[in-house]
Amino acid sequence: MNESILNSVLLLVSLGAVTALVLFVVSKKFYVYEDPLIAEVEDILPGANCAGCGSPGCKSFAEKLVATEDISDLFCPVGGNEVMKLVAETLGKEVAEKDPTVAVVRCQGSCDVRPKTTEYQGPKSCAISAMIYSGETDCQYGCLGDGDCVTACKFDAMYMDETTGLPIVITDKCTSCGMCVEACPRDIIEMRPKNKRDLKVYVGCLNEEKGGIAKKACSVACIGCSKCVDACPKEAITMVNNLAYIDPEYCTLCRKCVPVCPTHSIIETNFPPPKVKKVVEKKVEADSSGEVKSVNLVKDA
Amino acid sequence: MLKTFSKGGIHPPENKLTSTKTIKRLAPPKVVYVPIAQHIGIPAEIIVDRKDKVEIGQVIAKSGGFVSSNIHSPVAGTVTKLDMVIDSSGYKKQCIVIRTDVKNETNFQETEYPLKKEIDLEPAEIVKRISDLGIVGLGGATFPSHVKLNIKEDKKMDCLIINGVECEPYLTADHRLMLEKGEEIIVGIKILMKALHVHKAVIGIEDNKHDAVELFKRLTADEKEIQVAALQVKYPQGGEKQLISAILDREVPKNGLPMDVGVVVNNVGTIFAIYQAIQHNKPLIERVVTVTGKKLENPSNFWVKIGTPIKDLIEEVGGMPEGTRKIINGGPMMGKAIKNTDVPVTKGTSGILIVDDGEACRGEVKNCIRCGECVNVCPMGLEPHLLMNLTEKGLYEKAAQEDIMTCIECGSCSYVCPSNRPLLDYIRFGKNITKNLASSKN
């Protein structure tokens, strides 16, 4: 009895020793030198493997950063300037600072403003339905609503709004990796600068049709009237193919274009509510629930 | 036992409602919308401008390259605009809009050409005229016909196959044309045989068109070089490769063309268009269209000018029936649902099918139960379930290795799937991506 225990212990110990020896020899003989910097840089990177930088994953991006002399063109959109600064310090190279960006959805064609004219029963995928036809509505530029962008987002920063049928970007979670931009077959999603308070002014439409046709398909479509172009003091708005585009590089967020748009297709986000010159406040008597409602009668001067 | 192709195939209900209806000539519409991309290949280039007066049969858009085709004005009238109009793809495409001149008599003359049997032109002239007069394959793929007739020198042709199969359910355009224009089609076949220097032609007709088989057997009784082959009724026998397999038992190599096995295949509609082009110098400005559907008052076959809006055709058969859910450009298997009825008839429109709730809606998609039916019925010997999975996962290179590009998009797999899986939707998508990947690599 004792002998069999002893035998098996000896056998296993000797097996372990031999294997350890083989592993030791092999690891010495076939040792591949890897720049320790790569591991160091990889540790700094966010490790999301989102491919937003253009490399397939963080490790290969780290290799690229170490191997390339001039890394001013390379940028990790998820980590942003902080991470890139750390990387630059580690590598002793220079990086260019980039303004942080965030994804915006340039379509406001919800179910109530953009009536459905056909019904699609195929697979729920924007890429497939875009290949087959122009979508359930009469707008062949707008959101198809099958959520390819939401599927592509690896940071849970997008979801489909069930009432409007449009995707919504949670700006706090958006890392601007650009996967949604790539996934959208209609190029609806754009990366726009995210300033400190995340203020944005952009045209929420991509319809290149002439005014009448665009308006018929969707009541909040850009009709190419050029009123915003005239209103802009900085010449930041261009009108190409009946469609206005606000160039974020020149836009000073003055918002003069927003009220002049007859179809309300220019979107402003995160601005404080507009100051109104005359506000007449009057108290209404308590209603049945006992709650006092205050009604603001707004008159624009 | 009648001949048929070797692999796969299905037999959906035939529903040939209009097989006894004579082809009626439709009056020219008030306005025609002529798309410039009616054929496979490079779109034609517009050579008319707004307010130009055009004659019937005048070239209004010139061929944009070798694999392209001229487009002729289907009516005499005035070009009112060059506009973007939704076509059967669901997207807006460039169109030439022509208002028909109601005072011009040429629009309303019904020229019945006398049968002309002598072929005066030389082979090279035949090919040139086919190219000039804008003849494309009328079976549905709209491949420019002159390209098929330009045989490379190292290839040797020995057989011409005439496709009178019409395997799509509901459609009867080719069937009626064969019955009504039999003699002209025989002359057309001889024209092509002369152009191709071949001495054998076989007309393939499915056995559900008994009258056409009988007619052609009678017409070819004295013709030693032309044979008639009655084929078993099976979809998709009208596919080029399937038809060659059925008639000659030859297999076209993977990614190859019928040319590689010494065969040229042409549809009977194309043959008739070629006959008219060569013998009467008539460009391709009209075609036979079957307008059909179970709920229609009077489904019929029509001679329709290219560019006629589909709504005119629907009006002609008694208006849109109640409960219509889907209008299909083409047959039920390979046709495309259209977005609205302003879509014009093009060179490739063989039928308009109007279906209601019962036939239009897809069933609920369930999981694959690994029954293998899709593999059984695939006429190209592919594994549709595998191709769908690979495409769904984005493994396009693997899908390309599994021969996704050889799929002929017949839809048999989606038809038989007991779980209603959208097999063809994904395969088509995968093919598109694979094609783009391949072209971006080059």
Q: Which residues of B touch A125 (CB under 8 A)?
A: 429
Q: What is the mean pLDDT of chain B?
A: 92
| Residue A277 confidence class, pLDDT cut points 50, 70, 90 | low
Which member of B86, B90, B362 has the closest CB to residue A121? Answer: B362
Last residue in a domain, options B258, B280, B302: B280
- Could you tell me if residue B240 is inside a domain? yes
Verify that B260 and B395 share a domain, yes or no.
Answer: no
Q: Does A118 touch chain B (CB under 8 A)?
A: yes
| Residue A293 confidence class, pLDDT cut points 50, 70, 90 | very low
Determine the distance in angstroms separating the CA of A140 from the nearest CA of chain B, rounded to an integer.
7
* B316 or A274, higher pLDDT: B316
Q: Is residue B328 a contact partner of residue B349, using CB atoms and an 8 Å limit?
A: no
Which member of A121, A122, A133 has the closest CB to residue B90? Answer: A133
Q: Which residues of B touch A134 (CB under 8 A)?
A: 86, 90-92, 339
- Helices and strands (H, E) in chain A, number of each type: 10, 10
Residues B65-74 have a mean pLDDT of 92
Write out the residue range of the structural domain in which residue B200 sits. 123-280
B429–A118 CB contact, under 8 Å: no
B425–A121 CB contact, under 8 Å: no
Count of domains forming chain B: 2
**Closest CA relative to residue B176, chosen from B375, B384, B340, B25:** B25
For residue A275, pLDDT beyond 90:
no
Share of chain A above pLDDT 90, in %: 45
pLDDT one-digit tens code per residue, A2-32: 889 999 999 999 999 999 999 999 999 999 8
What residues are paired with A139 via a beta bridge?
none
pLDDT at B415: 94
Verify that B275 and B378 share a domain, yes or no.
Answer: no
Quote the CA–CA distance of B143 and B146 in Å, as a whole number. Answer: 9
For residue A295, pLDDT beyond 80:
no
pLDDT at B251: 92
Last residue in a domain, options B255, B280, B305: B280
- DSSP label at residue A225: -
Residues B2-9 have a mean pLDDT of 90
Which residues lie closer than 8 Å to A34 by C-beta, 6 or more apart?
none
Q: Which residues of B touch A127 (CB under 8 A)?
A: 429
- Could you tell me if residue B434 is inside a domain? yes
| Residue A134 confidence class, pLDDT cut points 50, 70, 90 | confident
Verify that B266 and B151 share a domain, yes or no.
Answer: yes
**Closest CA relative to residue A118, chosen from A131, A95, A94, A134:** A134
pLDDT at A297: 44
pLDDT one-digit tens code per residue, B312-326: 999 999 889 888 889
- Could you tell me if residue B255 is inside a domain? yes
Residues B289-293 have a mean pLDDT of 94
For residue B308, pLDDT beyond 70:
yes
- Considering A11-15, A276-280, B352-356, the range whose residues carry the highest mean pLDDT is A11-15
**Closest CA relative to residue A178, chosen from A243, A252, A103, A120:** A103
pLDDT at B365: 92
- Could you tell me if residue B86 is inside a domain? no
- Could you tell me if residue B265 is inside a domain? yes
Q: Does A122 touch chain B (CB under 8 A)?
A: yes
Domains of chain A: 36-91 (1.10.15.40), 101-269 (3.30.70.20)
- Could you tell me if residue B192 is inside a domain? yes
pLDDT at A278: 55
Q: What is the mean pLDDT of chain A?
A: 86
**B210: helix, strand or coil:** helix
Q: Which residues of A touch B425 (CB under 8 A)?
A: 122-123, 128, 132
Verify that B268 and B152 share a domain, yes or no.
Answer: yes
Q: Mean pLDDT lowest for which of A272-281, B111-120, B192-201? A: A272-281
pLDDT at A294: 40
Helix (H) or strand (E) run with residue B179 in it: helix B173-180
Quote the CA–CA distance of B305 and B26 in Å, as a whole number. Answer: 8
pLDDT at B179: 95
Q: Which residues of A touch B436 (CB under 8 A)?
A: none
CA angle B378, B384, B386 (to 5 degrees): 145
pLDDT one-digit tens code per residue, B238-256: 999 999 999 999 999 988 8
Residue A78 has a CB neighbour count (10 Å cut-off) of 21
Structure-token pair, residue B261? 């096995």
ipTM: 0.83
A140–B91 CB contact, under 8 Å: yes
B90–A131 CB contact, under 8 Å: no
pLDDT at A284: 46
| Residue B351 confidence class, pLDDT cut points 50, 70, 90 | very high
- Could you tell me if residue B188 is inside a domain? yes
Residues B146-159 have a mean pLDDT of 87
Last residue in a domain, options B225, B252, B280: B280
- The CATH number that applies at residue B211 is 3.40.50.11540
pLDDT at A274: 66
| Residue A119 confidence class, pLDDT cut points 50, 70, 90 | confident
pLDDT one-digit tens code per residue, A178-217: 899 999 999 999 999 888 788 889 999 999 988 888 999 9
For residue A285, pLDDT beyond 90:
no
Determine the distance in angstroms separating the CA of A124 from the nearest CA of chain B, rounded to an integer.
10
**Closest CA relative to residue B216, chosen from B255, B251, B174, B250:** B174
- Could you tell me if residue B197 is inside a domain? yes
Verify that B161 and B268 share a domain, yes or no.
Answer: yes
Which residues lie closer than 8 Å to A135 by C-beta, 6 or more apart?
A120, A129, A142, A144
Quote the CA–CA distance of B174 and B157 in Å, as a whole number. Answer: 25
pLDDT one-digit tens code per residue, B102-138: 888 888 877 778 888 888 889 899 999 999 999 999 9
